[in-house]
Structure 1
């Protein structure tokens, strides 16, 4: 059992705490920006500001992190995220809300998150072993599921009782606790040796960056994983923002009810965690098609919903299936990528994810403000239909996830 391994247990605890806190800001930040600006587009700009650093820095970050201690980089990144949110808390508390300042804060926050994710993803295979990657990702998704079940509902309640500043401050301190758990991770000699620093000239950095990008597209399996990840990240950001806009502007739900909507998504995540061992018996293609179909159905229910209940069912289906898809494709990417390319492939993937996440936020805010929120949601369902067609047309997916090996 992976949780009996000290290093993985510490990683898992830190992520569980951090994810729980993140769900507080996921509700509080868009709600307070929408409340103060009355603009879905400006609300989307805040989400976009978090993705600018991943878009422009991820490739260089991956090369830079490969030559340094992933543990130390991750700890520093978590501390910077803590300071960023504390700055936002003071701005709200002292009623000094300026959109450009908030955008700057979340730019720094997003940059720190980039360095943390690359470090985390690069550490994971060496800590748990390739053969246990699917199980490790499922445990992480379990932490996400519990955080998504409990976090939004509590966030809505605390926001109602104490306001946005106190809600966001809870998230800030979870990053501090996450950094503390990372301090106790003990790397083996082999893991430390892999992180031995080496000088890399600028020309060589560019060559390695190009190699990282080419790996994402040079083989049709890597290309498939890259496209699927792009779709998943686009939908996560777009639909999350659209649900908040729809709840507040169209359905007239309170922040507490909106929090409960996202807790319904968390319930779907938890059920997905328990279903994963059963689902993993099917082929990769079958899993992806089935999950896309369920997630798309959830979005269509969100489009048709005129109140809380149907919206909650839609979120349950959408996020439950989507979270399982993240586990499947995240495990697949790490399984088919050679060890010496993990960090740069991770950074290249984050650059693409950052691009489509930014696009997802821009799409959600623009379409919701200038057309209609339901038009944007329906378009997201159509995108999942395209994903199903791509899965049907891609060769080499009739394989069990546990049988995937690094590509040559």
Structure 2
């Protein structure tokens, strides 16, 4: 892959010159596997007191959405992306509110029913795990973002929105930041690509430097296969780092439900594959639904230390708070797992369940009943919290 763009200068907070919208090219893709994931690590330096509430992923998602929309939306009069005439050519919609092309085959649920025009967003967030955290000036705030499949082509738009992201601030409005109360201010120090299995990192952007690098680190199918082979064929432990919100037959799953987890993973991977990867490979996965669901039905939960954590999230579109809480903690499952290990590893990367774009449904899988050190080894921004006991239920 060559340089992402040549004329853009990314210097958040330093009066940078930004490339016009049409100067940011899209990458071309050939021979894309069913899915490829690109993992980004954002490091920000707090400049004024900043507080995140009980749902830091919601705050981060809202800030990113607002920054990209303000910077690049060309039709702000439209009430929603679905009502906009630019829907099929707009990078804002492609990243934040993608919709099915009416001319394309309709995506189907496992039960054969159509999903409608909305399709999964091509990203997920890995938020800070300390909820309700207050950051003082000088402290670092670090979070992860995963771009899925060919939508890594939209990375320039994300990075070109960084100045707007800094301008609008983050977190609760605080009286000590001014009158009227203002959100916390920060500056983006660096953005890195990293490989969640090897820990390898690649610097994409650093404050004060004029060059932005194209990400070359990615997780592909072979990486997933190798990680899956290292897992036990008979026992796995899932550590739910952020709330897992699954629905089965219209009812929330308030205890670990392996069969429903697998069903939702299958649905998610098929949709993501069709939308952002290789549709033929996605259809091949769909052909294995029956076999994989039958395997999942034989797996039982041996023990768990999960609990339900309620969590509200304010929706600007609905103008009200909506619940995004779910299960946190750990669950150990036993059974014939050999054929399901790759599926579980993919779930680590793309999350599962509802509200994944706000950070929900993030888990790690291991072969140990006690879990393992993979969260801190494979997700570098968690290393500073390795000895913390998180409100979301994972003890590192």
Same fold (TM over 0.5): no
Superposition TM-score, scaled by structure 2 size: 0.27
User: As a proportion of its length, which structure holds more strand?
Assistant: 2
TM norm structure 1: 0.26
